[in-house]
């Protein structure tokens, strides 16, 4: 998506440790007309899929998922990160290692909000090693819902998350795939 690539080149900041900051328009301050274009693009890429629910993970996926959901006319449900889980049987639980915080979280979702009748689109801001997405995939499997695919705004193609997800046969759409990045340059996959 050219609009996104141009914006990353203009406003993205590369930090040590292969972290790209897009705080000024995507996941701290949010440029809503711009994210609307992202929502439309996801809709066109998954137009053939009978999506009934969008699933994301807190925190930075939520805003993007909400805007995207308006184009699909479906609810958003987000998995919550939790330090300690009260396992009372009403929750799907999985473990996710955070790329940015280097911590392992329990991630939980109420069983009420994902059922075998659902057709799920996963949405997140970044795909790096794939831990967040694999956690969401595990929750979808536990729920018996149908996984229709995953929409990612920025995939870091030099980390192996994208390969893992595609090798599982999952329909993955990343709106920009970065092959390499330095302080002065971001190179996208054509």
Contacts with ligand 5GP by CB under 6 A lie at 19-21, 27, 60, 99-100, 124-133, 161
Indicate the residue among 51 and 79 with the shorter CB distance to ligand 5GP: 79
**Smallest distance from the beta carbon of 20 to ligand 5GP, in angstroms?**
4
Indicate the residue among 20 and 145 with the shorter CB distance to ligand 5GP: 20
Alpha-carbon distance values, 188 to 31, 139, 169, 178, 185 (Å): 22, 31, 23, 4, 10
Q: Cα(105)–Cα(95) distance, rounded to whole angstroms? A: 6
Q: Cα(88)–Cα(146) distance, rounded to whole angstroms? A: 25
Indicate the residue among 19 and 74 with the shorter CB distance to ligand 5GP: 19
**Smallest distance from the beta carbon of 65 to ligand 5GP, in angstroms?**
11
Q: How many CB atoms lie within 10 A of CB 66?
A: 17
- Can you read off the two tokens belonging to residue 15? 């930090």
**Smallest distance from the beta carbon of 181 to ligand 5GP, in angstroms?**
9
Q: Cα(74)–Cα(71) distance, rounded to whole angstroms? A: 8
Within a 13 Å sphere around the CA of 45, how many CA atoms are in the beta-carbon half? 22
**Smallest distance from the beta carbon of 147 to ligand 5GP, in angstroms?**
17
**Smallest distance from the beta carbon of 41 to ligand 5GP, in angstroms?**
19
Indicate the residue among 88 and 185 with the shorter CB distance to ligand 5GP: 185
Indicate the residue among 76 and 132 with the shorter CB distance to ligand 5GP: 132
Residue 52 parent element (H or E): none
Q: Residue 23's Cα: distance from chain center in Å?
A: 16
Q: Cα(37)–Cα(19) distance, rounded to whole angstroms? A: 24
Indicate the residue among 20 and 51 with the shorter CB distance to ligand 5GP: 20
**Smallest distance from the beta carbon of 89 to ligand 5GP, in angstroms?**
27
Residue 129 parent element (H or E): none
């Amino acid at each position: 998506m050219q609009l996104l690539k141009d914006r990353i080149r203009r406003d993205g900041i590369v930090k040590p440790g292969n972290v790209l900051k897009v705080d000024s328009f995507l996941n701290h301050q949010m440029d809503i007309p711009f994210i609307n274009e992202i929502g439309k693009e996801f809709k066109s890429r998954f137009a053939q899929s009978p999506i009934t629910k969008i699933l994301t993970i807190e925190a930075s996926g939520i805003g993007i998922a909400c805007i995207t959901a308006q184009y699909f006319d479906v609810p958003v449900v987000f998995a919550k990160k939790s330090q300690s889980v009260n396992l009372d049987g009403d929750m799907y639980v999985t473990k996710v290692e955070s790329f940015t915080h280097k911590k392992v979280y329990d991630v939980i979702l109420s069983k009420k909000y994902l059922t075998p009748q659902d057709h799920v689109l996963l949405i997140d801001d970044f795909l790096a090693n794939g831990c967040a997405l694999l956690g969401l995939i595990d929750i979808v499997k536990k729920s018996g819902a149908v996984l229709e695919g995953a929409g990612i705004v920025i995939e870091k193609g030099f980390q192996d998350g994208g390969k893992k997800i595609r090798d599982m046969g999952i329909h993955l759409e990343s709106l920009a795939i970065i092959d390499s990045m330095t302080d002065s340059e971001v190179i996208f996959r054509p």
